[in-house]
Structure 1
Amino acid sequence: MAPLDVPVAPRNSDLDAALAEARERYVAARPKSAAAHARARAVLPGGNTRSVLFYTPFPTAMAKGEGCWLEDIDGHRYLDLIGEFTAGLFGHSNPRIQAVLQATIANGLNLTAVGENEAKLGEILCARFPSLERVRFTNSGTEANLMALAAARAHTGKSKILGFYGGYHGGAMTFAGGGSPVNAPYPVILAQYNDIEGTVAMIRENAADLAAVILEPMMGGGGCIPATRDFLATMRAEATAAGAVLIFDEVMTSRHTAGGLQRLHGVTPDLTTLGKYMAGGMSFGAFGGKAEVMSVFDAYREGSMPHSGTFNNNVLSMAAGTVAMGELFRDEEADALRARGEALRAALNQVCARHGVAMQFTGIGSMMQPHFRTGPIIRPYASTPAEDALRELFFLDLMAAGIYTARRGMVALTLPVGDAEAARYVAAVEEFCEARKPLLAGA
């Protein structure tokens, strides 16, 4: 009997009590994960080395994955709907990616040299993304954004960066709550996402010293909130007028078409940052754009800027990337994935509307996020304690049903997720809305 077919006992109508019950059930089912976490805490601060994977009571430790399925160290099986926060696009065991990795390993690692695959991958990316005339590789999206900002500051000779409240551009550039002590020490000013009038005023006020405007065409960590096309087009026009470099962080959103959201909206930035899935699950980042901006790294030029990184062109990422982007994820696959995600999000919102609960899903295509409130959501917001509790309760209920998402609820579909898996998620949301309806009415 599937977890969703198991009859459920009446649940507590009190949110705190319901959450306590769900936590107890979670702990009781995962003794090995609890022990693994206790052991990790002896050597890792908080028992963790990647903050997004930390949650209480303790994180579930996974043992293996195949296709779109995971198994934890306690033997539970889960439908994987987070897909390594968009990096696991191809699933856990794509045979063509595994084959190219095995062949590459057979030819040796750490060759301390350039190779043919980096040029091949560069050609593939430049052909796909409207903004890319030149591109360089990094090890992550975080590095890609830092280097893109360095390029913008060097090219313009100006220093300020304009970002957006709730934006996330990697571990050293997060603007949730306005910022973070670990952020790179750039002089950053923050505007409200999708606020055309307010952002235009800030750009014009700071134009003399504004090097770059950086944004995600859809916020990922900020709640899967899409930018309007008018907002993106206005940012394009205003950045040009101010002599600033417009940077689209498409580390996550590049999956929505073969050429990213810039291609879907027809708005071309000066620089684009990429990462996540593009090396088939290997570590990867990239930044690129106009040749005149990227020329600050051209070593043939006097006074060019260095851009080092031992693993920037590592043979595994380069080889896997040529297969992933050159053979496996082209226009047809990207369009089909976006359509599948659009249909899933529509079905989820129909469930929420039918139950009349304060819950909705935002996003584009294969990326979506639940929000426990009604009304339009056009920018990040401060959650209430009740919303935070419902978000945790939803996560724990999904885990009990054998579905793995981000702790905050974010979903990033992978290519192996099909109609049956999507229906399983819709059924889980249906059950959550039915069972928790008394708690969802006034979130």
Structure 2
Amino acid sequence: MSPLDHASPVNSTLDEALADAHARYSAARPKSAEIHTRAREHLPGGNTRSVLFYTPFPTAMARGEGARLWDVDGREYTDLLGEYTAGLFGHSEKRILDAVKMALDNGINLASVGVAEGQLAAILCGRFPSLDMVRFTNSGTEANMMALAGARGFTGLSDVMVARGGYHGGVMTFGSEKNAVNVPLPLHFMDYNDAEGAAASIRALKGRLGAVLVEPMLGSGGCIPASRAFLAALREACTETGALLIFDEVMTSRHSEGGLQKLHGITPDLTTLGKYVAGGMSFGAFGGRADIMGVFDGHKPGTLPHAGTFNNNVWSMAAGNVAMGEIFKGEAVTALHARGEKLRAALNAACAGLPMQFTGIGSMMCVHFRSGDIIRPYKAEPSEEKLRELFFFDMLEAGFYLARRGMAALSLPVTDEDCERFASAVTEFVALRRPLF
């Protein structure tokens, strides 16, 4: 019997179905509810990472192994979220764990350089077309901030262009043009996948625009791929005007050994990378052309500072060398990409003819409850948001852990069988919930 057999009757309204899903969710997770109640006494909202918050309360996980999670109430899930792409290697990759343990046995917080950071830098520069030189940070957010600092320092121009709906870290969230948490950069906005309009805006800002920062596929914006024509137009306009093109590949670099820049054959001036590169540890990286990265070269007078106590921490450096030097290369990269492409095709076949679709590339995908081509972020209708929420809770009940916003990011331990079971669960969701669309 399917877990979804216990869902509300098919003739219920969308609001009734969602209320029923909330009730069943809450009844099955009393320990998670208790944890949330206690946490609210000292944490605003009961948590300390906004993307993990949802009502009535978030599920609290107790442990993970491979591509499996177990919550504090004893329920088991197939983890299809993959820590929003950072958990590429799953929860217990022994080679990474061994490397981290060995590094920790030799001491932490050494306040010095080590051999591992140079080794990891060489691996990354050998893989990504844009990387002549690279430096490390503690997160993708920091990587994007430092890439912008480097671009502005190199060009002497302060203004930055980003895409509406783009996300480049906790202090660069562009779902709207005004956000109190964003750093106060002089910003200009373009519409994603509007090649002609974006190029015209870049050219109009010649002499002011120091950088264009873009994801070659929107991640938190809904796994919406950039067209090659759009990226090529940005490349051409930046070359003409002297603005530096920065690809935020914190999420998308997993799609080939050299990221989406290699797949598209379009090389940015700078690239940023994120946590999966260090096996899921606290990590970020930014790099690019040698002349640009020279603004951080301490051998030269007047260079830019780049601080960060844990930039080269021993566990991230050790894990990164194993993750990128031994595990995630060659066949492992192509197999993961192919598995994701196959799964997304199966999911879209399951919801064909309905206002429901999965966008993405390779091992990253996101569900949308609307028809037609989705080429840029949009404001969802209330009914779309309710269907997305119902999908999330139904998938939890079926034993699959996704992002509340409907995003999935496959990890290496996810199997073909896991993907087939998920496609079956989506098929059941479509059959059960079809009257609510």
Shorter-chain TM-score category?
over 0.9
Please give the secondary structure, in 2, of the residue aligned with 1:60: coil
Residue in structure 1 matched with residue 241 of structure 2 by the alignment: 242
> How far apart, in 2, do the equivalents of 1:433 and 1:146 lie?
42
Give the 5 Å matches for 1:288-327: 288-327=287-326
Encode CA deviations 1:332-360: one digit per residue, 9 max, x unaligned: 2111111110000000000111xx32100
1:424 aligns with 2:421: yes
> How far apart, in 1, do the equivalents of 2:240 and 2:400 lie?
48
Number of aligned residue pairs: 437
CA RMSD of aligned residues (A): 1.0
How far does residue 2 in structure 1 lie from its aligned partner after superposition? 6.1
How far does residue 104 in structure 1 lie from its aligned partner after superposition? 1.2
Encode CA deviations 1:356-401: one digit per residue, 9 max, x unaligned: 3210000000000000000000000010000011110000001111
Encode CA deviations 1:39-78: one digit per residue, 9 max, x unaligned: 1111111111111001111100000000000000011000
Runs of 4+ residues deviating >3 angstroms: 1-4, 6-9
> How far apart, in 2, do the equivalents of 1:310 and 1:229 lie?
38
Residue in structure 2 matched with residue 151 of structure 1 by the alignment: 150
1:385 aligns with 2:382: yes
Residue in structure 1 matched with residue 402 of structure 2 by the alignment: 405
Residue in structure 1 matched with residue 261 of structure 2 by the alignment: 262
Encode CA deviations 1:268-295: one digit per residue, 9 max, x unaligned: 0000000120111111000000011111
TM-score in terms of structure 1 length = 0.97
Do 1:13 and 1:436's aligned partners in 2 also have CA atoms closer than 8 Å? no
Please give the secondary structure, in 1, of the residue aligned with 2:311: coil
Encode CA deviations 1:286-308: one digit per residue, 9 max, x unaligned: 00000111111001111001001
Please give the secondary structure, in 2, of the residue aligned with 1:49: coil
Residue in structure 1 matched with residue 85 of structure 2 by the alignment: 86
How far does residue 13 in structure 1 lie from its aligned partner after superposition? 3.0
Residue in structure 1 matched with residue 365 of structure 2 by the alignment: 368
How far does residue 109 in structure 1 lie from its aligned partner after superposition? 1.0
> How far apart, in 2, do the equivalents of 1:136 and 1:331 lie?
24
Do 2:67 and 2:78's aligned partners in 1 also have CA atoms closer than 8 Å? yes
> How far apart, in 1, do the equivalents of 2:330 and 2:237 lie?
31
Change (3 A) 1:317 1:129: same
Which amino acid counterpart does residue 104 of structure 2 have in structure 1?
A: I
How far does residue 234 in structure 1 lie from its aligned partner after superposition? 1.0
How far does residue 8 in structure 1 lie from its aligned partner after superposition? 5.5
Which amino acid counterpart does residue 414 of structure 2 have in structure 1?
A: V
Give the 5 Å matches for 1:21-420: 21-353=20-352, 356-420=353-417
> How far apart, in 1, do the equivalents of 2:194 and 2:399 lie?
39
How far does residue 207 in structure 1 lie from its aligned partner after superposition? 1.3
Do 1:12 and 1:18's aligned partners in 2 also have CA atoms closer than 8 Å? no
Please give the secondary structure, in 2, of the residue aligned with 1:211: strand
Which amino acid counterpart does residue 381 of structure 2 have in structure 1?
A: T
Calculate percent identity across the aligned residue pairs.
Answer: 63
Do 2:195 and 2:231's aligned partners in 1 also have CA atoms closer than 8 Å? no
Which amino acid counterpart does residue 386 of structure 2 have in structure 1?
A: A
Do 2:11 and 2:435's aligned partners in 1 also have CA atoms closer than 8 Å? no
Query: Which stretch has the larger CA shift, 144-153 or 195-204?
Result: 195-204
Please give the secondary structure, in 2, of the residue aligned with 1:208: coil
Which amino acid counterpart does residue 361 of structure 1 have in structure 2?
A: F
Listed as ranges, the gaps of 5+ residues in structure 2 are none
Please give the secondary structure, in 1, of the residue aligned with 2:207: helix
Please give the secondary structure, in 2, of the residue aligned with 1:176: coil
> How far apart, in 2, do the equivalents of 1:411 and 1:18 lie?
23
Please give the secondary structure, in 2, of the residue aligned with 1:368: strand
> How far apart, in 2, do the equivalents of 1:342 and 1:290 lie?
32
Do 1:341 and 1:364's aligned partners in 2 also have CA atoms closer than 8 Å? yes
Which amino acid counterpart does residue 392 of structure 1 have in structure 2?
A: E
